[in-house]
Amino acid sequence: MASIRPAKCYRKLERPNTRVSRRKPRRSYVKGVPDRKIHKFEMGSPKKKYAMRAYLVSENGVQVRHNALEAARITLNRHLEKTIGKDLFFAKILIFPHHVMRENPVATGAGADRFSTGMRKSFGKPIGLAARIRPNQRLIEVRFGKEKVADAKNALKRAAAKFPTPCSIVVEEIK
């Protein structure tokens, strides 16, 4: 199986290229969208009352792929369970991957002319999903007790390493 392309290919926040076919409207729809890697968006125990809240905030507008979201979620959850405890925090991923990423694979090498069409039908096949992020948008929220501020900040810092944009951490008290 072929590996995925680098994230830099899909990081830019541009207008999505949509195809509108008047003669054959069926061609206007993206068929066969692959399943997203991230399925769980809430971790910990949501019903408890917490004293503090921290957010991971993006600094730039980018696209984040669904596998980067899952990697950030796993890193965050693992560190919070290890340092704070399983039932002493609540974390939530605040963004959802809606945007369908497509790729027009161009074949190279001997015999490539047999199955490559070049730019003739270049709409592309769906290869994954991405979340479109605006500047200063909140990506992840973590709620916890007052004495665990350093642990929550460290967990968010580790999760921020999985995103293709610099992120800042905002801590506030819940009233």
- Looking at residue 104, its pLDDT comes to 80
> pTM for this structure?
0.86
Average pLDDT, consecutive stretches of 10 residues, N- to C-terminus, the chain (175 residues):
76 78 81 90 94 97 95 97 95 95 76 69 83 96 96 97 96 94
Q: If you write DSSP's letter for every residue of the chain in order, what string do you get?
A: -PPPPPGGGT-S---------SS-GGGGSPP-PPPPS----EEE-SSS--SEEEEEEESS-EEEEHHHHHHHHHHHHHHHHHHT-TTSEEEEE-----EEEEE-----STTGGGT--TTTT-S-EEEEEEEEE-TT-EEEEEEE-GGGHHHHHHHHHHHHTTSSS-EEEEEEE--
- Looking at residue 171, its pLDDT comes to 97
- Looking at residue 122, its pLDDT comes to 72
- Looking at residue 147, its pLDDT comes to 94
- Looking at residue 14, its pLDDT comes to 77
Residue ranges and CATH numbers for the domains of the chain are 34-101+126-175 (3.90.1170.10)
